[in-house]
Amino acid sequence: MVNPHAGEVRLVVDGRPQVLKLTLGALAELEARLEADSLADLVARFEGADLRAQDVLHLICAGLRGGGWQGDLPDLMAAEIEGGPVVAAQAAARALALAFRGAA
């Protein structure tokens, strides 16, 4: 069970429910992987029109790791996300919103 008040989002990966949570460590990992100069730049990247599927995958991976998942990007790229790209993108957007605004 996930707790949105703690910034958690549910995502089913390879048939297993996982917790997506953008902890400070997960955000730092995401910043490094996307070579963002700051958190503001990171958020702007996700709000912009040039968002890439790879960006979403990096966010999901960092968030899953923040939620305790032990995998990494190659594992996620080979995984089946229940609901496909639309659900994955929605979960990523919700996790990002919760990380910066609290429970929505």
- Nearest CA-CA partner of 74 in 88, 91, 57: 57
Give me the pLDDT at residue 61, please.
97
Give me the pLDDT at residue 63, please.
97
Over range 31-52, report the average pLDDT.
88
pTM as predicted: 0.90
Domain limits for position 43: 4-101
Per the structure, the count of domains in the chain is: 1
Q: Percentage of the chain surpassing pLDDT 70?
A: 97
Query: Residue-wise over 14-38: b if at least 16 C-beta within 10 A, else e?
Result: eeeebbbbbbeebbebbbebbebee
